[in-house]
Chains A and B, each alone.
Chain A
Amino acid sequence: MTETEIRQAIADSLRGIAPEADLAAIPPTSNMREALDIDSFDFLNLLIGLHTRLGVEIPEADYGKLTTLAEMIEYLKAK
């Protein structure tokens, strides 16, 4: 899948979690949870949203590889 598709899926997943979030304004190497001010519950919801939209399995052991926006995009591109 392309980076554009992944960005769209992230933006769509965030709509119900942090509606005011502007993906373009999130520094790619910043901690996503801190930048978006979301808790572990909403982070799990974000990952569930990505799983649903992109059909990607994200094992719990991989959560640490999805800390920043750049990491998240790279991880999903490789899937």
Chain B
Amino acid sequence: MKHIVTLKTRNLCESAANGGCGECQTSCQSACKTSCGIANQRCEKAEKKQSK
């Protein structure tokens, strides 16, 4: 019996190794303008990799 299904996610601990480039959006600017949340922001490095 399978009790646990683990989703594919970005490993946050490992993201420290190559992170912090600062190219991503800095705040809620360009969007909702009234609440900061970063969960829905895009990683520019991931985007670059995808577009190659």
Co-complex (A, B): no
Residues of A at under 8 Å CB distance from B? none
Could you list which residues of chain B lie within 8 angstroms of chain A, going by C-beta atoms? none
